[in-house]
Amino acid sequence: MAQIFHPSMRVISRASILAFLLVVGFIGWVCWDLYRSGYFTDVNVPKEQPIPFSHEHHVNGLGISCGYCHTSVEKAAFAGIPPTHTCMTCHSQIWTGAAMLEPVRASYRTQRPLEWVRVHDLPDFAYFNHSIHVNKGMACQVCHGNVNAMPLMRRTSPLQMAWCLDCHRAPEKYIRPVEEIYNFDYVPPKDQLAFGKELVKKYNVQVKQLTDCSVCHR
């Protein structure tokens, strides 16, 4: 009887088993990472907008507060995207000739709204309500990041359910006094957890309810 296989098969046969396990593990790792990567979550990926609107300039440079444009953030589920009219309150006075702002003026002229690309876009079956969050001391910064330092708007949070749960399970990690929700320079106290727990109690946040399915899905 002759050997069927080349002697190298001694190693190859065993290595292939190991390799198979490694490949399976690798694929698992790639999937794990891919779903959490910027490719999938769009974290830190600025989107092309009709106008390269700079939050940095308007917030840090001009000191405009979030609520000036996002008017319904304390009142409604939707924070509100400012109508062209809001832009024109200033831009009918300043930078009136800037080419960059032509779409704004065109919108105002033609009554055709501007079409922004949604940056923070939850799936349609997740019902997020801005008003309850900001009214209970969850600052803009916590989810949206340092918008005041963003020349172009981008996500800083993956907006995945596990990410939501992180805070819904322990809001004390992020909660702050309601007066500070628009403050990008807020520094949490050293004993944030203890302080946070106090605030949670003060604002009557029912933490155990926050992981109920019906809180976000209807």
Chain residues that interact with other proteins, rule: CB under 8 A:
1-7, 9-10, 13-14, 17, 32, 35-36, 39-40, 47, 72, 75-78, 80-86, 107-108, 110-118, 121, 123-127, 129, 131-132, 135-136, 158, 160-163, 165, 204, 206, 208-209, 211-215, 217-218
CB of 126 to other proteins, least distance (A): 8
Six token digits for residue 67: 């609520």
Q: Are 91 and 109 contacting, i.e. CB atoms less than 8 angstroms apart?
A: no
Six token digits for residue 53: 């609107």
CA 204, CA 64: separation in Å to the nearest integer?
30
3-class DSSP state of 200? helix
Q: Identify which of residues 78 and 191 has a Cβ nearer to other proteins in the complex.
A: 78
Write phi, then psi, for 43 (nearest 5 degrees). -65, 130
Q: Are 72 and 78 contacting, i.e. CB atoms less than 8 angstroms apart?
A: yes
CB of 64 to other proteins, least distance (A): 16
CB of 200 to other proteins, least distance (A): 13
Q: Identify which of residues 121 and 198 has a Cβ nearer to other proteins in the complex.
A: 121
Six token digits for residue 71: 């008017």
Q: What is the DSSP letter of 36?
A: T
Q: What is the DSSP letter of 120?
A: S
CB of 173 to other proteins, least distance (A): 15
3-class DSSP state of 118? coil
Q: Identify which of residues 60 and 72 has a Cβ nearer to other proteins in the complex.
A: 72
CB of 164 to other proteins, least distance (A): 8
Six token digits for residue 200: 């949670």
Six token digits for residue 165: 């749960």
CB of 201 to other proteins, least distance (A): 13
Q: Identify which of residues 136 and 197 has a Cβ nearer to other proteins in the complex.
A: 136
Q: Identify which of residues 52 and 113 has a Cβ nearer to other proteins in the complex.
A: 113
Q: Identify which of residues 11 and 187 has a Cβ nearer to other proteins in the complex.
A: 11
Q: Are 151 and 53 contacting, i.e. CB atoms less than 8 angstroms apart?
A: no
